[in-house]
Chain A
Amino acid sequence: MAALCDGFTLCGLASGPSSAEARILSIEQGREADHVIVTDARKSITVYKVSDQKPLGSWTVKQGQTITSPAVYNTQTGEYVVVTDNKVIRVWKDEDCFDKAFKATVSADVARVHALPDSEPVVLFARGGVRILDTLLAAPQQSIEELLPEGEVIRWSESFVKGKQKVVVFTTEQKGEHFVYLHRFNPNCLLKYKLEMEDAGSCLLSVSATVRNKNISFLYLCSRGCLYQSEVPVSGGPAEGVQPLPRTLLLKLPVGDGHLSVAAALSLDEANVAVVGVPHPSEGTRKEFLCIWNTHFQTLQASRELLGQPYGQLWCFSGKLYVPHGRVLTAVPYDCQQSSLAAALGRLKQGHGEGSCPPPPVRSWNSLLHEAAAQPQRSTRGIDTRRSKLRKSQAASITVDQVLEDIKTAPGEDVEREVESFLMGAAGPDLQLAVGQVASQLVTRCLSDPSFYTRNSLARLVHTRCLCHSVCPGLLPLVLEKKDYSLVQLCLQHFPDIPEEVTCACLKAFIDVSDGDLEAVDIEPDSMSLMEDISVGWRKDGNLENGFSPVLLEDDGYEARIPPSKSRGRAGLLDLDVSCPVGLKKAVLLNEILQTAHTESFLLPHLKDLSVQQVLLFLRYLWFLYLKFSQDFNVRTSGLRSPTTVQIIDWVCLVLDAHFTVLVMVPEAKDMLSHLNKFVRSQVRLISELGKIQGSLQNIHKLKQSEDVGLYSIEIIELF
C-alpha cells in the first residue's frame, strides 16, 4: 500500500522566460536529511529546512553569470559545489559569501557535479569524461578526454556508491537514439549500452535509476505512456563495443490525448512508482496529477491533484516527493509499504460487507416526493461530527509507531488497551496501513512469545475489515494453532484471500475437533440460529408460515420425489429426517469453510490429505445440508448468512473427486455413494425436464414476436 499525505509548499518559483520552461535546475540532498538544496534556474541557490518550510541560506550569482550545474553538498568537506558558466567550479561553505567562494576554471565544459554519500563528489564533463572533484581541483587545467562522438549530448546523469564501487551513469542522445553509459572507477572503465526505443514518434521523457541487489535499475518513461525497466550490473567484466540493453514493460500508463509531453517517473521501491504529469485514469485528459502506481498489480495506489502544470520534474528525498508545478514547489510526504493484491483491491471491498453498511433510513412518502427535503438526516450528522471530534482527540494521543513499539514489549493487557484506543481514533485511508502493521507486529510477538496472545485485539483488528490474509499471513495459522475457533470463524468470514492450503488446514482442524472442545467456544449467534433452524426443522417446532400448516404438502412432497413403487421399500434411502452428523457449533464452523472463496484445482491436492474418516464425516454433513436445503425453502430464504446449494454441491464434488478411489473401497461409504448417485440422477432428470420447458417457452416467445409493420402493407387474412 502506498499513500500520499497532504503536501505543503516549500517555496514559490521565480517566473522564467517562458511559462513551460523548467524553473528549477535541480534539488539535491543537503547537509542533513531534512535539508534540501534548491538550485533555481540560472541564478540562485537556496538551502531549505524542509520540516520547518524555511530557507537556511541563499546565494545568488552575479549578473551575467549563470549556473550550469546544480549545487551539491560535499559531505566530506561540508562545502557546497556549483558550476557556473560551464567551466567555473565554485566551492564555498555555509557561512561564506558567494563572492568569496573558491573558484577554479577547468579546461572543458562540465555537465554535472554529483555528490556521493561518504565520498568526494564526481564531475561529469559534457564530452563524457569523469573526474573525482579533489583530483580535478588539484590540477584544474588538466586535459579532459573526449569520449562521446560528435553530436551526442548528455541528457541525464546520476552517480551511485555500491560497497566501495563508485559508479556514474548517464544517458545520451544522438539523432533520436539513446545510449546509456556506465563509468566505473578503479579501474576506470566506460561501458556503453544502447537503449531500445519504441517505434518512431515516441520519445524518452524521463529516466531515473536506483541501485538494487548489485544492479542498477533504470526506469524510463516514454511519451506513449509506457514505463520500462532495464537493469545493468554495478560491477562486471568490461565489455567491448555497444551492447543492447533489454527492457521490460512495467506499466502502461493511461495517456489522455495520445502523447505525454512533460512527465517524470521515479521508482519509490520495488513495486511503487511515482509519476507526475500523467492523466489520472478517471479524470479525463488533465495531466495535473501526482500519482503512485503499483507496478506489480498495475493499480493506482494514490493520487493527488496539482494546481498548475507540472514541469516533468520529480525528486525524492527522505520520504518526501518534490514536485515543481505552476508557480510553486511542493513537497509531498508519502508512505509505501509492501502491498498485497487484497489490500490493493481491499479499498473497493470496503463498505460492501453486510455489517458495514448503515441501516437504510426510513423515509416518508413526502420526502420521497420532495427529495430536496433532507432535514431528518441533519441531526445525525451533528452527532457524527461530535463523535469524530472525540475520535480525533484520542487519535492525537496515540500513533501507530507508538503502538508498534509497545507491542514488542508491553504486557498483554496493556497492548489490548492500547490497540483498542488506537482503533477508536483511527479512520480514513491510513487505517488500512496501520491495521496491517499492528496485526503483523502482534503476530510476530505471539509467535516469539508463546504465553502472549491478545485475542481481543486480534478480533478487533479483524473486525475493522481492513485486514486480509496476505497483509498478515501469519495470523490465521497462529489462531488455528491457539485453537481459537471463534476467531478462525471471524477470519474466514472477513478475509477474502485465504489460500486453499490454509482453508484445508482449517477444515481438517474443524473436523477433528471434538464437540466437547467446542462447548466453550463462543460462536456468532446468527449462524448458530441458522443451524438450529436447519437441524430442528420447521416440522418439529411447528414454525408456521403465515399461520399456514403445510401438512398435506409434507406428505405429498415425499411421494412426488420418488416413483410410488419404490417409495415403500426405499424409504430409508431418501428419508429426509437425517439427523445432523456433527454438533451444532462444528456445523457452523464447517459452513464457514463452505463459503470461503477457492479455486478447485488448488484445493484438490490439499483435500487429498484428509483421512477416510474425516472425508466420510464431512461428506455425511454435506449430504445432510444438501437434503435440508433441497427440501426446505425456508432455510434458504431466512436471510441469514448460509452456504448456497451450489456451494454444497461444489464441495461434494470436490471431496468425491479427491477421494473417490478410496471411498469406493470403504464399506461404510457405500450407502453414502449410492445416496448421492440417486440424487444426481434425480437432478439430471429435473434438469432435462427444465430443458424441455425452456424449449417450449422459447417457442412461445417466438410466437409473440410481431413483425415490424411499415406505414403501408397489403396483407391477406383468412377468417373462418
Chain B
Amino acid sequence: MGEFKVHRVRFFDYMPSGIRCMAFNQRTERLALARLDGTVEIFNFSDRYFQEKVIPGNDARSVEAICWVANRLFTTGLNGEITEYDLENLCPKYSVDAFGGPIWTVACNALGTHLAVGCEDGSVKLFEVLPEKIRFEKNLDRQKGRILSLSWHPSGTRIVAGSLDVINIFDVQSGHMMQRMLVDRGTVNSRTRECVVWSVFFLSDFTIISGDSSGKVQIWDSHTGTLNKAHLVSKWDVLALSLSQDESSLLAGTSEGTVVQFQFLSPTLGASEKEWVRTRTFKHHTHDVRAVAEIGTAVVSGGVDTQLVVRPLLDKVDVKSYDTGLRKIQFPHRPLVSCAAKAGLLLFQFPVQLELWRLGEGEGPGRPGHSLIVTRKPEKLLQLKRKGEDHICCSAISPCGSWVVYSTVSSIRLHRLQYDGSNISIAKVPRLPKVLRSAHQLCFSADSSRLFVASSRSTVHVIALSQSECKYLHTFKSSSGSTEPMHLLAASADGRWLAAANRACEVHVYNVRSRKPHCIVPLYGSCPTAMAIHPSTNNLLMVHADQLIFEYSIEEKQYTDWSRRVQKEGLHRLWLERDTPVTGVTFNPSNASQFLLHDTYMFCIVDQRLPLPDQKAQLYNQLTLKSLSEQDRKSYSHAFKFCKKYQPLLCVSVLEDQSVVVVERPLLDIATQLPAPVRQKKFAT
C-alpha cells in the first residue's frame, strides 16, 4: 500500500467547556445540553447520538437551566433573561427579562402552557407560553432566599421550589405557599453552611424528591410536609436529579462524579407497597456531575469534566447491540480545524479566536515507524480574536492560504492574508456584500476564487474573490423547501459542482457555472457527517451518522457501482459499531482510487479497487498484514486500511506534497486543565 509522511500535530490546545445542564425531549429523542460557556448543543439520540446542532455561546449570556416546551427550547441564565432559540437559524430568537435577578432554574408544566422560573430575589415567576413568544403572567408569593430548583406537579396545580435550607410548595392558582419543609444541614462540619436544594421533583402521587448540597436525596410527603426517607449518597453535593417518564426511576448526580440510581420498587418480592430504593451507582466522571437525564433505556450524564456519557441500562435491553455499549462523547462532531493544503497552513477554531499555524519541515532517513528530524519547527503565524461578544460558529481557510473567513451568529468577517515566508500581513476585506450576515458553514473553491456561504433557510451564497474585489454572484435556494441549516459544503476541484448537506439529511448538488441546482441525492435517513467530491471523477462521497458510505456520481445522477457494491455486500460489523462519526473525507492525490476517512479514534484509507471485507474477515488487519510476506498480503488485504496510532483525532488532511496532517488532542492534556476534583479516587474505595 505504501508509506506516508505524517505531520503529527498536538499543539491545538482545544479545551471543551464543561456541561452545565441538559434536557431530553422524549418525543423527538433530542437531548439539549448547555455548556458553561453558554454553548447549546442538540444531540439526536435516534441517529447514533449525532451532534446535530450547535448554537454558539455568547460572552454576555450564561445558561443555568434548559427546558424543552414541545419542540421549542428555552434557557435561563444569570443575566436574568429567558431565551428562546431559533433552531433553524441556530441563534437566540428573543430574550425576555424576568426582572428577578439571575434566574437559576426553569420548569415547564406538563401541558406545555406555562413556564416557571426561579430567581435570585426569591420569587417564582410564571410565564405563559404563546406561539412565537412568552408573556409574563404572575408572581407566586415571594420568599427569602434564591430559588435554585423548581418542579411542577403533573396536574399543573402545584409547584415545588427548592431554596436555601428550605423547600416550599406553592399553589399555582392562588400563588400562596402551602407547605414549607426545612432541609437538614447534614453533618457536623457543614452545619454552618446553608444547605442548598439543588434539585427537586414533584411526583404525581404528591411525593417530593430533593437533592441537596449536604449529599442527601430526600423523599418528602407534600401533603403533610414531612420527610419520609433520606438517602445519603455523597459526602459532597447532590447537584442534579432526573426522573424517568414513568416515575419509576430517579438519577442523582453528585460532586464526586458518581451517578446514583434510585428505583421505585417493593422491597419484598410480591408486595404491593413500594418505596424508593437505591439501586445502582455509576462512576464515569472525575468531576462534578452537573446534569443527568434518565431517558428510559439509558443514563445520560455530564459535568465539569466536559464529556457526555451515555450509559445504557442493561435491564432495559434484550439483545446486545450498538446501543448497549457505554458511550462517551468528548469532542464535537464537526471539524474545528481547516487545512490549507497548498500552503501547508492549519487554522484552529476556538470559541473566541482563530489561530493560524504553519507546519514544520523535517529531514532524515524516514524509515517506517521512525520520526524525521524536525529542521523547522511549526510556527504560530497569527492569532485572530473575534469581534463582538458572540462565539465563532464556523471558519475556513482557502486552499492557497490567502483567505481566512469566520462567522458568528451576527456577522461574517473575511480576511486577506499575505505571507511570503517571513512576513505576514492581514487585512480585513471591507464592505462584504449585504447578503452575508451569518453562516452555518463556509467553504472555498479549490482554486480559492469562490467562497460558498451556507446561510439561513438552506441557502448557499456564492461570492467571487479576487485581488481587487469581493463580489456577490448568486444564491442557491433549497429546491425542496427545507429550512434546516446546511452543515456540510463540498466543492469540486474543477469548480463546477457544489454539494451542500443540511440537517434534514438532504444533499443538494448545484452547478456553480450555470448557477442552477443540479440534483438532490436520494434522501437517506441518517444525517451525513462528512462529504467530499472526488477531484478527478467528480463522484460525491458521503458518510452518514450510521457509518454507511455512499458514492454518488454527480454527472450520471446515480450511485456508482462501488457504492452499490458496498450496499449489496454490506459493511463490516465492526465498522458499523464504531463509536464516533466520521468527520472528515479527503482523497489521496497520488492514487485516484483511494480516499481517507477519519473519526476520533482512527483514520483509514479505503481503496476502491480492493475487495470489501466480508463479515468473517479481520477488519483491523494491519498487524497481521505486516507479519505476512508480500505474496500472502494480497490474499488477505481488503479495502479498509486502518491506522489507530493517532488518537483522539480532530482532523486528518492531505497536503499537496501528499503528506498527511493529523491533529491530535490527548485526553490527558484536557484532564490536566480541569480544576481539581472534589474527591480523589483512592485505592480500594
Interface residues, chain A, with chain B CB atoms under 8 Å away: 366, 369-373, 709-720
- A712 near B374: Cβ-Cβ < 8 Å: yes
Contacts of B637 in A (CB 8 A): 720
Given A369-B215, A370-B232, A373-B187, A716 contacting B10 (CB threshold 8 A): no
Contacts of A369 in B (CB 8 A): 215, 232-235
Return B642 CB to nearest CB of chain A, in Å: 8
Given A369-B234, A719-B1, A719-B605, are A714 and B377 neighbors across the interface (CB < 8 Å)? no
Report if B325 contacts A (CB, 8 A): no
B603-624 contact mask (Cβ, 8 Å, vs A): 1 or 0: 0010000000000000000100
Contact indicator B372/A715 (Cβ below 8 Å)? yes
**Beta-carbon nearest neighbor of A706 in chain B:** B645
In the complex the two chains form, is A720's CB within 8 Å of B633's CB? yes
Complex contacts, B5 vs chain A, CB 8 Å? 714-716
B378 with A366: CB separation less than 8 A: no
A714, B374: Cβ atoms closer than 8 Å: yes
- Tell me if B189 is interfacial: C-beta within 8 Å of chain A: yes
- Partner of B10 from A366, A371, A373, A710 at Cβ < 8 Å: A710
Interface check B367, CB cutoff 8 A: yes
Q: Which of B7, B8, B232 contacts A709 (CB 8 A)?
A: B8
Closest-CB distance, A712 to chain B (whole angstroms):
5
From known contacts A716-B367, A717-B3, infer whether A711 and B622 are also in contact, taking CB-CB under 8 Å.
Answer: no
Q: What are 24 A-B contacts defined by CB distance under 8 Å?
A: A369-B215, A369-B232, A369-B233, A369-B234, A369-B235, A370-B187, A371-B235, A373-B187, A712-B9, A712-B11, A712-B374, A714-B360, A714-B362, A715-B371, A715-B372, A716-B5, A716-B366, A716-B369, A717-B6, A717-B643, A719-B2, A719-B622, A719-B641, A720-B633
> A369, A373, A715: which has the most chain B beta carbons within 10 Å?
A715
Distance of A321 Cα from B309 Cα, bound (Å): 70
Cβ contacts under 8 Å, B8 to chain A: 709, 712-715
B434 at the interface (CB under 8 A from A): no
Given A372-B188, A372-B189, A712-B11, CB of A717 within 8 Å of CB of B235: no
Q: Does B683 contact A (CB under 8 A)?
A: no
| A567 shortest CB reach to chain B, Å | 40
Q: Smallest Cβ distance from A143 to chain B, in angstroms?
A: 81
Are A719 and B643 within 8 A (Cβ)? yes
Q: How far is the CB of A303 from chain B (nearest CB, A)?
A: 34
CA distance A371 to B232 in the complex (A): 12
- Nearest chain A residue, comparing its CB with the CB of B372: A714
B362-405 contacts to A (CB < 8 Å): 362, 366-372, 374, 377-378
B: contact size bracket: 35 or more
Q: Could you tell me which residues of chain B, from 144 to 198, have a CB within 8 Å of some CB in chain A?
A: 186-189
Q: Which residues of A contact B369 (CB under 8 A)?
A: 715-718
Given A372-B187, A709-B10, 17 further pairs, Cβ under 8 A? A370-B187, A370-B215, A370-B235, A372-B188, A372-B189, A710-B10, A712-B8, A712-B11, A714-B5, A714-B8, A716-B370, A717-B3, A717-B368, A717-B643, A718-B2, A719-B605, A720-B622
Contacting residues, chain A, for B633 (C-beta < 8 A): 720
Interface flag for B27 (CB, 8 Å): no
Given contacts A369-B232, A718-B2, A720-B641, contact A713 B374 (CB under 8 A): yes
Are B378 and A712 closer than 8 Å at their CB atoms?
Answer: yes
Residues of B within 8 A of A (CB): 1-11, 186-189, 215, 232-235, 360-362, 366-372, 374, 377-378, 605, 622, 625-626, 633, 637, 641, 643, 645, 659
**With A and B bound together, what is the CA distance between A372 and B641 in angstroms?**
57
A300 → chain B, closest Cβ, in Å? 33
A702 to chain B minimum Cβ distance, whole angstroms, is: 15
Q: A712 touches which one: B3, B7, B189 (CB < 8 A)?
A: B7
What chain A residues lie within 8 Å of B625 (beta carbons)?
A: 720
Contact assessment for A719 and B4 in the assembled complex, using a CB-CB cutoff below 8 Å: yes
CA distance A373 to B232 in the complex (A): 12
Q: CB-nearest residue of chain A relative to B628?
A: A720
Q: In the complex, what's the smallest C-beta–C-beta distance from A377 to chain B, in angstroms?
A: 15
Which residue of A has the minimal Cβ distance to B604?
A719
B252 to chain A, nearest CB (A): 13
Query: B366's closest neighbor in chain A, by CB?
Result: A716
Rounded to whole angstroms, the CA-CA distance of A701 and B369 in the bound complex is 18
Q: Which residue of A lies closest to B235 (CB)?
A: A369
Q: How far is the CA of A369 from the CA of B189 in the complex (A)?
A: 13
Nearest-Cβ distance from residue A705 to partner chain B, whole angstroms: 14
A716 & B372 in contact (Cβ 8 Å cutoff)? yes
Considering the chains assembled together, what is the distance between the CA atoms of A711 and B7 in angstroms? 11
Of all chain B residues, the one with the shortest Cβ separation from A371 is: B235
Measured between beta carbons, the chain B residues less than 8 angstroms from A719 are: 1-2, 4, 605, 622, 641, 643
Nearest-neighbor residue (CB-CB) of A367 within chain B:
B232
What CA separation (Å) do A712 and B372 show in the bound complex? 11
Given B4, B11, B233, B361, which contacts A716 in the complex, CB threshold below 8 Å?
Answer: B4
A215 to B234, CA, bound (A): 72
Residue of A371, A372, A373, A718 contacting most chain B CB atoms (<10 Å): A718
CB of A713, distance to nearest CB on chain B (Å):
5
Select the residue from A712, A717, A718 with max chain B CB neighbours within 10 A. Answer: A717
Q: Compute how far the CA of A25 lies from the CA of B507 in the bound complex, rounded to whole angstroms.
A: 106
| Closest residue of A by beta carbon distance from B621 | A720
CA distance A675 to B79 in the complex (A): 87
- With the chains together, A719 CA to B235 CA distance in Å? 51
Chain A neighbourhood of B1, CB < 8 A: 718-720
> Does B189 lie within 8 Å of A714, measured CB to CB?
no
**B368-A716 in contact (CB<8A):** yes
B649 to chain A, nearest CB (A): 14
The chain A residue with its CB closest to the CB of B357 is A712
Bound Cα distance A9, B486 (Å): 91
B6 neighbours in A (Cβ, 8 Å): 714-717
Cα–Cα, bound, A254→B189 (Å): 40
Contacts of B4 in A (CB 8 A): 716-719
What 4 A-B pairs come out closest when comparing CB atoms? A720-B625, A718-B368, A714-B362, A714-B372
Give Cα distance in the complex from A195 to B207, angstroms: 90
Inter-chain contacts of B370 with A (CB < 8 A): 715-716
For A366, A372, A712, which residue has the most chain B Cβ atoms within 10 angstroms? A712
Most chain B beta-carbon contacts within 10 A, residue among A369, A713, A714: A714
Q: Measured between C-beta atoms, what is the minimum distance from B541 to chain A in Å?
A: 19
Query: For A718, what are the chain B residues with a Cβ–Cβ distance below 8 Å?
Result: 1-4, 368-369
